[in-house]
Chains A and B, each alone.
Chain A
Amino acid sequence: MSLFMAALRFQLRLAAHSPGTLQVWATAPLFTAVFLSIAEHADRTDLTSFAVVAPTLMGQWALALGIAGELIAEERSQGTLEAVIATPGRLSVIVVGRILAVSLLGVTTMAEAWLVAGVGFGRWIAVPHPVVLAAALLANAAAMAGTASIMASLFVLMPSARIVQNTLTYPLYLLCGVLVPLSQLPAWVRPLGRVVFLSWSADLFRAALDEAAVSRPAGRIAVVALLGLSGYLIGALLLARVLRRVRRLGTLTHT
């Protein structure tokens, strides 16, 4: 069994016993309701799909980032980190497999948000480009896993990296066009947002829910995947360096 698939399955099994991991299913409908209420109040029903896309990405990113940090902290606290490091398996592969599992679970928040819009607000959103949406969701989940794995190396190095983790949630949602399209944000923000996969994913999701034809879908999905792959490579490199450092300093098990 490949280590990647084993890690993915492992995390799915763990998720079934970890209600904390699944809290995003409680928050996504609430965010959806808030965003839809704002859109309704502003009489901007054209933004309904935005109100579905944002909670999906927010939920997935929160899950991915949360597990990226917690898995290292948990491995440390239950004494498994050292045993994992003593095996020939690559920690970076385990990390990305486990994060991908929760990212994929997070995809279901889109269905949840869609139901909230339909049942709660009578706004049943059509999906004119289901293939693009499905491909974008998958690419986005992979990119989430790759990018969030960078966090894992920080947690190996600094058990108190939760502050960094927290700063990578709401500011990113705002700066990467998760809530408001990047094109609507100030010009100076856009270059920053464009190097983060979230902005590409958000645009793709919104385009897939729009009647108009999606321009260059394959290319845009490839950008999401490539940005995610870059994140993974950076994460793997950092993790390898950090592990060398903690082996040298003897701080692997420090909490």
Chain B
Amino acid sequence: MEKYGPTRRGATKRPADGGARADAIVVEDLGRTFVDRRGRGAGEVTALSGISLRVAPGEVHGLLGPNGAGKTTLCKILTTTLEPTTGSARVLGLDVTRQSRAVRRSIGLVFGGDRGLYGRLSARENLWFWGAMYGLRRSELRARAELLLERVGLADRADARVDTFSRGMKQRLHLARGLVGDPRVVILDEPTMGMDPVAALDFRALVAELREEGRTVLLTTHDMAEAAAVCDRVSLIDRGRLLMTEDTDAVGRLLSRYERVVAHGVSAGLADRVGALAGVVAVRHEADRLEAETELPSATASVLAVLAGEGVHRVSTARPDLAEVYLHLVGRRGMAVT
């Protein structure tokens, strides 16, 4: 499933040997289970199962999936705050379990949302403290904090308390915090969660800068548009399993390829006719409601024409969401999803 060679942005190239030694992130058959103590008796919940993934140095890699897919669990393992149950993960060749301290020197972690900062301190004080955790000397730390504040557009508010910041400003500070240790690998966990569209656009520009600096970025998101805008490749993950890894363009094409037609007042016979049309990949019919999944733009037109010809006027079309595309992909590629 993996594609090697130049990405569409030309930023990342994999060596001819597949880049096994040079990869910034190597995840092999990774699994993580949790003991679920809710309810009667203890059970096991599988958060990740058999995940294998490689991210090249300098690549911006998107980890796409719905909430609860396992994206954050993978980030936690890569940032050494959680140990895997099975398999292994390496960052810049360092094992996240056995060489966790060395891994932590090389990574920067950025959360989304309001949490993860000291609200009663100023932006500058936050960066001083976080920088000290990376062992930066005082002069170096202060200079870097100023640079980062400038870079994320917070220089004017550097001395304001963080709990007076808007969500977008906090997110920019999050990114500055993640970069204060000058990491070679940056892990962005839902970084634009709750951001307004303008702030999200600014954030994308910052991610592009990280790529230009040659940093490796792993970005988790459930927003396909965001992934398409900033990532070189994306991996789709659902229910703890990796469904596919593709160039961003390829996944974007997949998304735009499928369409859904929903109609009311449809008889069973008419539903069968629709199901028989070329390019219709799935049909669900309950009572008088029809839901048809199409794979080609021409198929949608055919379905609409048939329905209109039979006097069905309560019709709507929509793009499937990411989860539905996953299902298409799973069906097409014959992968099992539990």
Quick check: B109 and A83 within 8 Å, CB to CB? yes
Within 8 A of A (CB), among B71-103: 76, 79-83, 101
Mask for B128-140, Cβ within 8 A of A = 1, else 0?
A: 1111111111100
Within 8 A of B (CB), among A230-249: 247-249
Quick check: A78 and B121 within 8 Å, CB to CB? no
Chain B residue at minimal CB-CB distance from A10: B129
Quick check: B116 and A79 within 8 Å, CB to CB? yes
Q: List the one stretch of A85-93, A107-115, A199-207 in contact with chain B.
A: A85-93
Partner of A89, one of B81, B111, B119, B133: B133
With a cutoff of 8 Å between Cβ atoms, the chain A residues found around residue B138 in the complex are 1
For residue A84, CB closer than 8 A to chain B, the reply is yes
- With A78-B119, A79-B111, A88-B101 as contacts: A1 and B82 at CB distance below 8 Å: no
Distance, CA A82 to CA B116, complexed state (A) = 8
Chain A residue at minimal CB-CB distance from B137: A1
Top 7 closest pairs, chain A to chain B, by CB: A79-B115, A89-B133, A6-B132, A87-B133, A1-B138, A17-B120, A86-B79
Mask for A13-36, Cβ within 8 A of B = 1, else 0?
A: 110011000000000000000000
With a cutoff of 8 Å between Cβ atoms, the chain A residues found around residue B111 in the complex are 79, 82-83
Q: A80-B116, A86-B79 are in contact. List 9 more A-B contacts (CB 8 A).
A: A10-B125, A78-B115, A79-B113, A79-B116, A86-B81, A88-B181, A89-B133, A89-B135, A249-B35
Total A residues in contact with B, Cβ cutoff 8 Å: 28
Within 8 A of A (CB), among B174-223: 177, 181
Quick check: B81 and A14 within 8 Å, CB to CB? no
For residue B260, CB closer than 8 A to chain A, the reply is no
Distance, CA A18 to CA B163, complexed state (A) = 14
With a cutoff of 8 Å between Cβ atoms, the chain B residues found around residue A78 in the complex are 115-119
Quick check: B135 and A3 within 8 Å, CB to CB? yes
With a cutoff of 8 Å between Cβ atoms, the chain A residues found around residue B120 in the complex are 14, 17-18
With a cutoff of 8 Å between Cβ atoms, the chain B residues found around residue A87 in the complex are 104, 130, 133-134, 181
Partner of B81, one of A3, A10, A80, A247: A247
Partner of B121, one of A3, A14, A88: A14
* Residues of B participating in the A interface, judged by any CB pair closer than 8 Å: 32, 34-35, 76, 79-83, 101, 104-105, 107, 109, 111, 113, 115-121, 125, 128-138, 141, 161, 177, 181
- With A14-B118, A17-B120, A250-B32 as contacts: A82 and B132 at CB distance below 8 Å: no
Partner of B134, one of A2, A18, A89: A89
With a cutoff of 8 Å between Cβ atoms, the chain B residues found around residue A13 in the complex are 121, 125
Distance, CA A13 to CA B34, complexed state (A) = 38
B87 to chain A, nearest CB (A): 15
Quick check: A88 and B134 within 8 Å, CB to CB? yes
* Residues of A participating in the B interface, judged by any CB pair closer than 8 Å: 1-3, 5-7, 10, 13-14, 17-18, 78-80, 82-89, 94, 247-250, 252
Quick check: B125 and A247 within 8 Å, CB to CB? no
B91 to chain A, nearest CB (A): 11
Distance, CA A122 to CA B165, complexed state (A) = 51
Quick check: B132 and A1 within 8 Å, CB to CB? yes
- With A13-B121, A17-B120 as contacts: A88 and B109 at CB distance below 8 Å: no
B205 to chain A, nearest CB (A): 24
A99 to chain B, nearest CB (A): 16
Quick check: B177 and A83 within 8 Å, CB to CB? yes
Distance, CA A83 to CA B117, complexed state (A) = 9
Partner of A86, one of B32, B83, B104: B104
**Could you show 12 A-B contacts with beta carbons less than 8 Å apart?**
A1-B137, A6-B132, A10-B118, A13-B125, A78-B116, A78-B119, A82-B111, A85-B80, A86-B81, A86-B104, A89-B134, A247-B80
Distance, CA A90 to CA B105, complexed state (A) = 12
With a cutoff of 8 Å between Cβ atoms, the chain A residues found around residue B76 in the complex are 82, 250
Distance, CA A80 to CA B118, complexed state (A) = 8
Quick check: A10 and B80 within 8 Å, CB to CB? no
Chain B residue at minimal CB-CB distance from A17: B120
A6 to chain B, nearest CB (A): 3
- With A247-B82, A250-B34 as contacts: A84 and B137 at CB distance below 8 Å: no
With a cutoff of 8 Å between Cβ atoms, the chain B residues found around residue A5 in the complex are 132
Quick check: A6 and B128 within 8 Å, CB to CB? yes
Chain B residue at minimal CB-CB distance from A248: B83
Quick check: A88 and B104 within 8 Å, CB to CB? yes
Quick check: B83 and A88 within 8 Å, CB to CB? no
Quick check: A83 and B118 within 8 Å, CB to CB? no
With a cutoff of 8 Å between Cβ atoms, the chain B residues found around residue A94 in the complex are 133
Chain B residue at minimal CB-CB distance from A4: B132
Quick check: B136 and A1 within 8 Å, CB to CB? yes
- Best-buried of A3, A78, A79, A83 by chain B (most CB within 10 Å): A83
A239 to chain B, nearest CB (A): 14
With a cutoff of 8 Å between Cβ atoms, the chain B residues found around residue A83 in the complex are 109, 111, 116, 130, 177
Distance, CA A219 to CA B98, complexed state (A) = 42
With a cutoff of 8 Å between Cβ atoms, the chain A residues found around residue B121 in the complex are 10, 13-14, 17
With a cutoff of 8 Å between Cβ atoms, the chain B residues found around residue A249 in the complex are 35
With a cutoff of 8 Å between Cβ atoms, the chain B residues found around residue A17 in the complex are 120-121, 161
A243 to chain B, nearest CB (A): 9
B112 to chain A, nearest CB (A): 10
B142 to chain A, nearest CB (A): 9
Distance, CA A88 to CA B130, complexed state (A) = 10
Distance, CA A80 to CA B266, complexed state (A) = 55
